[in-house]
Amino acid sequence: MNKLLAPILALLVPVLAKAVTDAIEAMLPKIIATISDSIETWMPQIIKAVVTAVAQSAGQISVNTADKVTDIIPGNLDDHIVDNLVQDIFGRLGWKP
């Protein structure tokens, strides 16, 4: 390193390091508050999306399971009666089978 710059850098580095550390410590509460506010804002929407996805998956599983059970019934009886009932129930619940 240059003999002229070395003493200058030796003096500047601690001052700059303290200034940067102080600035970070001053901003940290605001950063934490911003992150916390963002989580509080988005969490209800994330929870709603997860609950909706789980409910729709459960509904689809129920439809698939009911369809498999009704397939045991011989002939087209299940297609004309039971499947229509299941479709109607899920339609009333707002689930798409």
**CB 59 within 8 Å of CB 95:** yes
Instruction: For residues 22 and 90, give the distance between their C-alpha atoms in angstroms, rounded to a whole number.
Output: 60
Instruction: For residues 18 and 6, give the distance between their C-alpha atoms in angstroms, rounded to a whole number.
Output: 19
Predicted model pTM: 0.41
Per-residue model confidence as pLDDT tens for the chain (97 residues): 578 888 888 888 898 999 999 999 999 999 999 999 988 888 889 899 998 888 888 878 877 776 676 667 766 676 677 777 777 888 887 776 5
